[in-house]
Amino acid sequence: MTRQLLGPLAANRQFFAGMSPERVDPGRVEPPVQSIPKIISGLDDITPGSLDAINRVYSTIFETVIPVSKPEVAEMMKLYENCQRMVCIAYANEMADACIPHGINPYEVCEAASTKPFGYMPYSPGVGVGGHCIPVNPFYLLSNSHFPLLEYATLAMHSRPSRLAERMLKRLRQRVTVRTPRVLVVGMGFKAGQSQIDNSPGADLVRSLAVSREVDVCWADSLVKQSALPQVRRLLDEDWRKDVLRKFDIIVVASRQAGTSFDILDELDGVEIERWCQ
């Protein structure tokens, strides 16, 4: 993409060009940005000296700068990083779905596996993946290459909120027969600490429940305003208390926002709590 977009311009106007993928995690402050190794590349075959120019710029900021042979390597590296995460989380979700019928806590399984100091990287199950990168990046690779494992994982991840909604509806049809069941979904930000709901799995879960017209659904998130998801009612912050929460049949925790006391959920007798985060 860098070559197609900038190559002709760089050749005609003789400016340096290259590609350096971002490596950021919104909301994370550790490790500090300057300590994260920076991958750089340049179109030296079009404008000689591009890689050296980019190296000089980023070396003033980053402690470690790693050059690769051409922009295509840097681009593929970024997609490989993010798509690996998609596949691994999809596998963690499959593990969780297999654990639940057997009465096994999937998060305890994850914590136990994380004690292995080699050959294992921790991934936790959840409602899905959100944000601007991980849900979208697989489609760049799938547009012109054959990735059957990635394709399956991506489709499974995108359909997960609706599948979780259907599982909930099935249980509620059996449990609550004389009135409309009430469901609260907690966590609309695409991940903890975020107010944006871009590709938010929590928001997708709320929408899936709402369009079913089988439940009275609302959502809670201390960082997200009602205007972000106007179609479904937001639980007021002052209503995060036992007497209000007891009125729900199911409370689903999609993500945990700082400043919200989740200990109160342990005190709600008779309310099913479905936790999809630690």
Question: Which pairing describes strands 65-67 and 182-186: parallel, antiparallel, or unpaired?
Answer: unpaired
- For 131: left if phi > 0, alpha if psi spans -120 to 50, otherwise beta; the answer is left
Active-site position among 83, 88, 99, 133: 133
CA 220, distance to chain mean position in Å, is 18
Give the SS3 label for residue 218: strand
Q: Which residues pair with 220 in a beta bridge?
A: 186
Distance between CA 265 and CA 276 in Å, rounded?
14
| DSSP E strands, the chain | 18-19, 38-42, 65-67, 182-186, 216-220, 250-253, 272-275
- The residues near 220 (Cβ < 8 Å, ≥ 6 apart) are 184, 185, 186, 187, 234, 235, 240, 260
Q: Which residues pair with 272 in a beta bridge?
A: 250
Q: CA torsion sign, 176 to 266 to 194 to 61?
A: negative
- DSSP summary character for residue 274: E
Q: Has 133 been annotated as catalytic?
A: yes
Distance between CA 180 and CA 250 in Å, rounded?
12
Burial label, 214 (beta-carbon count in 10 A; 0-12, 13-18, 19+): middle
Q: Which residues are catalytic?
A: 133
